[in-house]
């Protein structure tokens, strides 16, 4: 009887001490694990924001080109329509990539928020659960045993929730550095170059219609030069059109991959894996006790 009381007292005191220690870690960031998670979330959101900014610049450039083409319609309706039709696919791809980027940034932001909440609240929850278990070990009742099992499950899930996102962020950062980062940086650089070349269309002005006599007075050389300038502008647009669309597609696939792998698959996979490990450990401990 005395041995049983001693074992119960040991469990109770150990639980109380652990509860106090864990409670003191509320809001505390662990040196390696949490610093990696903080760095990952900050860098990922920043880089996605940079890509989104490039998309907005392209979108603004295309909008200006379309508006400019409308202004020169009196000089040549067919030519101005050609520019609008050429840049339309770019505009469509920019919108699709922007949607993927917004989805990725939002998901990363939600993950970061959940992570910060877990850093602050999970230790407190674990401390309260341990304190309750320390008190319940003194009471022998079948119903209370079920309550203890529920509290133990809550304790396990809380501890896994605390470490799941930091561990997944380490795996995500590895993927980011060794697979996604270089490709995204290269694609952003190509987009920036394409946007600069595309912006040259804003400098092209078609000759305004000034009546039959006025137009004849302008001379054939003036009209010829304007025709050459406009032809060059069309060639630049067609050349950059394919490059920009290809780069936008590549970025869309990359960020869609980031969203699926880093935001959905890895956190859920690591959570499932940690649950399995805990179940195996508890099963082994139960068999050993028997």
* Ordered per-residue pLDDT tens for the chain, 290 residues: 577 778 878 888 888 898 888 888 887 888 888 888 888 888 888 888 888 887 887 777 777 666 655 444 444 444 444 556 667 777 788 888 888 888 888 888 888 888 888 888 888 888 998 898 888 888 777 777 788 888 888 888 888 888 888 888 888 888 888 888 888 888 878 877 766 656 555 555 544 545 445 544 444 555 555 556 556 656 666 666 777 788 888 888 888 888 888 777 888 888 888 778 777 766 655 545 44
- Asked if residue 242 lies in contact with residue 197, where contact means CB atoms within 8 angstroms, the answer is no
Alpha-carbon span 176 to 189, nearest angstrom: 18
Q: At what angle do helices 220-257 and 211-218 cross, to 10 degrees?
A: 90
Contacts of 122 (CB under 8 A, 6+ apart): 158, 159, 161, 162
Structure tokens, 150: 């529920």
Alpha-carbon span 112 to 263, nearest angstrom: 11
Structure tokens, 84: 């609008």
Contacts of 252 (CB under 8 A, 6+ apart): 93, 96, 97, 100
pLDDT computed for residue 79 by the predictor: 46
* Backbone phi and psi for residue 79, each to the nearest 5 degrees, phi listed first: -70, -40
Assign 3-class secondary structure to the chain. Answer: CHHHHHHHHHHHHHHHHHHHHHHHCCCCCCCCHHHHHHHHHHHHHHHHHHHHHHHHHHHHHHHHHHHHHHHCHHHCHHHHHHHHHHHHHHHHHHHHHHHHHHHHHHHHHHHHHHHHHHHHHHHHHHHHHHHHHHHHCCCCCHHHHHHHHHHHHHHHHHHHHHHHHHHHHHHHHHHHHHHHHHHHHHHHHHHHHHHHHHHHHHHCCCCCCCHHHHHHHHCHHHHHHHHHHHHHHHHHHHHHHHHHHHHHHHHHHHHHHHHHHHHHHHHHHHHHHHHHHHHHHHHHHHHHHC
Alpha-carbon span 133 to 242, nearest angstrom: 65
Distance between alpha carbon 139 and the CA centroid of its chain, in Å? Answer: 49
pLDDT computed for residue 200 by the predictor: 56
* Backbone phi and psi for residue 26, each to the nearest 5 degrees, phi listed first: -65, 125
What is the reported pTM? 0.68
- Asked if residue 93 lies in contact with residue 243, where contact means CB atoms within 8 angstroms, the answer is no
């Amino acid at each position: 009887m005395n041995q049983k009381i001693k074992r119960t007292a040991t469990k109770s005191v150990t639980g109380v001490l652990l509860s106090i220690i864990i409670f003191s870690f509320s809001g505390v960031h662990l040196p390696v694990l949490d610093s990696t998670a903080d760095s990952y979330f900050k860098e990922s959101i920043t880089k996605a924001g940079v890509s989104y900014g490039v998309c907005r610049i392209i979108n603004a450039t295309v909008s200006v080109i379309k508006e400019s083409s409308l202004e020169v319609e009196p000089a040549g309706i067919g030519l101005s329509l050609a520019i609008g039709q050429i840049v339309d696919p770019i505009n469509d791809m920019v919108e699709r990539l922007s949607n993927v980027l917004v989805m990725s940034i939002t998901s990363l932001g939600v993950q970061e928020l959940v992570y910060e909440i877990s850093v602050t609240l999970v230790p407190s929850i674990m401390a309260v659960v341990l304190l309750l278990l320390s008190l319940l070990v003194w009471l022998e009742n079948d119903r209370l045993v079920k309550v203890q099992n529920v509290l133990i499950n809550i304790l396990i899930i809380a501890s896994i929730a605390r470490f799941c996102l930091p561990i997944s962020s380490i795996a995500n950062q590895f993927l980011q550095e060794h697979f996604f980062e270089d490709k995204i940086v290269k694609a952003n650089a190509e987009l920036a170059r394409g946007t600069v070349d595309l912006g040259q269309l804003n400098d092209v002005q078609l000759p305004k219609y000034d009546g039959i006599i006025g137009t004849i007075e302008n001379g054939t050389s003036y009209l010829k030069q304007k025709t050459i300038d406009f032809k060059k502008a069309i060639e630049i647009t067609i050349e950059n059109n394919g490059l920009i669309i290809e780069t936008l597609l590549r970025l869309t696939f990359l960020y869609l991959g980031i969203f699926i792998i880093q935001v959905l698959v890895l956190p859920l996979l690591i959570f499932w894996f940690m649950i399995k490990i805990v179940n195996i450990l508890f099963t082994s401990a139960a068999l050993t006790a028997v």
